[in-house]
Amino acid sequence: LGQPKEALTVATRMVDNSPESAVAVESLARAEFANDKRAQAAKNFRDAARYAGFDGPRLMRIASHQVKLEEFDEARRTLIKATN
């Protein structure tokens, strides 16, 4: 979006409306990452991976962000899930 604070506001509303939506939680994690809220982003990427089921492309995208956060064990688990 190019506007990290606004993205965070919108993504937070999305999660408020759909707390177990992989799309909403991943969006929130990405907005948190853009706002340098690393701990919150890491937690929400973990949650997004859980809610994503076996959506391979989504899981690959989540794992990529987990690597950027240096959450290597989580990225590994997410990649394993993506390949099942």
* Residue 45 buriedness (CB in 10 A; 0-12 / 13-18 / 19+): buried
State in Å, rounded, how far the first CA of the chain is from the last one: 32
DSSP result, 7-33: HHHHHHHHHHH-TT-HHHHHHHHHHHH
Token pair, residue 11, equals 């993504």
Token pair, residue 24, equals 């909403």
Q: pTM of the entire structure?
A: 0.93
Per residue in 8-67, pLDDT (tens digit) is 999 999 999 999 999 999 999 999 999 999 999 999 999 999 999 999 999 999 999 999
